[in-house]
Amino acid sequence: MKRMYLSLMGMLCLLCSVTLAQSVRRAAFPLNGKADLKPLKKALAGTQIVGMGEATHGSHECFTMKQQVFEFLVEEMGYTVFAIEDGIYGANLINNYILTGQGDPRQILKDEFHSVWQVKELTDLIEWMKDYNTQHTRKLTFAGFDSQQMDSYVRALRTFETQYKTNIFTPFTDYDGEGVDSINDAMHMASRIVDSVLHSLPPKPAIVPDTAWEQATWMINNISAALHQFNKKDFLQALNTRDSMMALNIDHLIKLHPGEKMMLWAHNGHIGRQHIFTVEFNTMGANLKRHYGESYTCIGFATSTGTYRAAIEKSENMKTDNVLIPAGPGTAEYILHQTGIPVFLLPLKKVPVEGKFRSIGVFASEYQFPEKPGKLGDLFDWLIYIDKTTAAVSL
């Protein structure tokens, strides 16, 4: 009797999935190129910031689709700012390249960016932005909004001190951890030093240009946030510290570019209004939604099968043959797969898609789905589904 009951429940779930897949199919906009993104033009009419996610940090088709969306936003809707989940300093070097042609973007990505972004797909986007700037008077900006890149920020502050012959930040940039017993103690001491520097920050020296001072003080604030994040004993508190700072960085970018519109490039777990695994994680997207309301729209990504690029745990080596666990019954991707449409755009307000939803970060993982299902409409406004993806191409 119990076996029959379970069998009947399984059949019922399957029928529900098929019925919902039919509803998704009716509401979906198949995507074969930029021209098919036109439904976004009306939907984003009142939006200033568009958050573009990704189910993994290393899916080729998701990256190329995000470039198509950015090109569409630039050409059709006047967007001018591209901002990525990486540091301010490295992004500034890339921005200089797309404006002047100075520098080597591949080397900048290798030296200053996280290994997940050291991919051909990002260099393709950078080159497109550079070509656009060459041909148009309205210039595009490449920016970063992450707070974790302390090494880059320290190098930038040391360069600042040397160039302008100041010692404002040297109490921190000269700190080498001497006299402490552990890395944790060194991190706590560094945090206290940075907070002291911020507390006693002087007015801008006359010799320092406004832009240089703004960049330097922005970086020291991000170093403070990163140190507080790494010093948190509670993992969720650490994540919340980082995402709150990233939201503040985006707000800062908006103020630097008044009246301009921006597209964000980050993981689903950051751009969404909630996190896939836990509602206790106060995402960057949740912060932005509270502050900007309908002016912030988030678009998540999903994929069903394929391979992806990611690091192996406790190693910085990136592998490109990591395999996506096939999305089976009970997952949102299973429903999306049942539509039979290889790539499509879906307005989540129209279709209540629910199920376990894949999320993979920096490291390859066999634990790709949460234990509990969730409603995609609680996470994102829109979804781009790509049935099969391949690994991003390493530089």
Superfamily for domain range 18-79+261-395: EreA-like (biosynthetic domain) (3.40.1660.10)
pLDDT of residue 316: 72
| Range with lowest mean pLDDT among 108-117, 246-255, 270-279, 315-324 | 270-279
pLDDT digits (tens, 9 = 90+) for 161-219: 999 999 999 999 998 877 777 888 888 899 999 999 999 999 999 999 999 999 999 99
- Residue 115 near residue 318 (C-beta atoms within 8 A): yes
State which amino acid sits at residue 388: K
Report CA-CA distances (Å) from 60 to 48, 57, 83, 310, 354.
27, 9, 19, 12, 25
**CA nearest 348: which of 46, 32, 70, 29?**
29
151, HSE (Cβ side, Cα atoms, 13 Å): 5
pLDDT of residue 279: 66
What average pLDDT does this structure show over 75-92? 96
Residue spans of the domains in the chain: they are 18-79+261-395, 87-144, 150-234
**CA nearest 108: which of 142, 80, 133, 59?**
142
pLDDT digits (tens, 9 = 90+) for 232-242: 777 667 778 89
The C-alpha R_g of the chain, in whole angstroms, comes to 22
State which amino acid sits at residue 94: I
The first and second tokens of residue 257, run together, are: 């570019």
pLDDT of residue 1: 47
> 390 exposed, middle or buried (CB, 10 Å; 0-12, 13-18, 19+)?
middle
Helix axes 210-231, 88-100, angle to 10 degrees: 140
Task: Write down the architecture of domain 87-144 according to CATH.
Answer: 2-Layer Sandwich (3.30)
Whole-number Å distance between alpha carbons of 345 and 69: 11
Round the average pLDDT of the chain to a whole number and report it.
91
Reported pTM: 0.92
Whole-number Å distance between alpha carbons of 113 and 107: 10
Confidence label for 18 from pLDDT (cuts 50, 70 and 90) = low
